[in-house]
Amino acid sequence: MSSPAEFYNSLPPITKAYGTLCLLATTAYQIGLYNPVYFALDYRLVFLRFQVWRLFTNFFFLGNFSINFGIRLLMIIRYGVQLENGPFERRTADFLWMMVFGGLSLLVLTAIPLLRSYFLGVSLVFMLLYVWSREFPNAQINIYGLVTLKAFYLPWTMLALDVIFGSPLAPDLLGIIAGHLYYFLTVLHPLAGGKNILKTPLWVHKLVARWGLGSQRNTNAQPDRTTGVAFRGRSHRLN
């Protein structure tokens, strides 16, 4: 049995960084170091008062300490780690680009008045969950010991449970939309004969190399991801 420190150090770099920032943001809020209002995404303040930090900080606040916060943090650790150590193994720059693209997509979506949201951390976590569910569609998931289902259906099941338990629908749905957009552009569209128009930019590779994060198979070529189609036969059981 590894110690908490050993477990933390074993986490892949991008998942570790994002999970740590979310935990620190909530801890700082709980002990009264800041008001979440100053982290919230408010386009009026961004463009009129140049409070550009709001475009980034809103992704790190997952709410106060609660069961929901714990579930979101576990989702980051579980599904982020399995993605970064699985389909994105030795592709740290590609995983970082997926997170960046997801964040940018969510910022664009929330500019639509009907989809307005002030904190996008939950949405980004759901984007991770959706991409994971497409990469591991046949994994068997047990929901609270009551129902077992394929991972392909997990995002929709979690969305339904959130609605039943009184959580807002929009953050989960935004994450699913962003996740599907990424998966469509990087897997489904190329499988249909189209060009991969979402290759990881060179500046992301350089950033990862400069920071010494993870590793890459080849920084000059985009790996083939056309095997990532749903129900392709890869099966894992998660206990």
Query: In the predicted model, what is the mean pLDDT of the chain?
Result: 87
Q: Return d(Cα 150, Cα 141) in angstroms, integer.
A: 6
Question: pLDDT above 70 covers what percent of the chain?
Answer: 89
Q: Put residue 87 in one of left, alpha, beta given phi > 0 → left and psi -120 to 50 → alpha.
A: alpha
Q: At 52, is the pLDDT very low, low, confident or very high (cuts 50, 70, 90)?
A: very high
Instruction: Average the pLDDT over each of 41-50, 110-119, 212-221 and give the range with the smallest value.
Output: 212-221
- Taking 70 as the threshold, does the pLDDT of residue 198 lie above it? yes
The candidate with the shortest Cα–Cα distance to 122, out of 25, 37, 35, is 25
Q: Return d(Cα 107, Cα 111) in angstroms, integer.
A: 6
- Taking 50 as the threshold, does the pLDDT of residue 233 lie above it? no
Q: At 215, is the pLDDT very low, low, confident or very high (cuts 50, 70, 90)?
A: low
Instruction: Average the pLDDT over each of 89-98, 111-120, 139-148, 226-235 and give the range with the smallest value.
Output: 226-235
Structure tokens at 36: 């979440």
Give the model's pLDDT for residue 144. Answer: 73
Instruction: Write down the pTM of the prediction.
Output: 0.87
Give the model's pLDDT for residue 235. Answer: 36
Q: How far is CA 171 from CA 45, 73, 158, in A?
A: 21, 15, 12
- Taking 90 as the threshold, does the pLDDT of residue 145 lie above it? no
Torsion of CA 88, 92, 93, 99, to 10 degrees: 70
Q: Return d(Cα 170, Cα 106) in angstroms, integer.
A: 11
Give the model's pLDDT for residue 168. Answer: 87
What are the structural domains, with CATH classification, of the chain? 4-211 (1.20.1540.10)
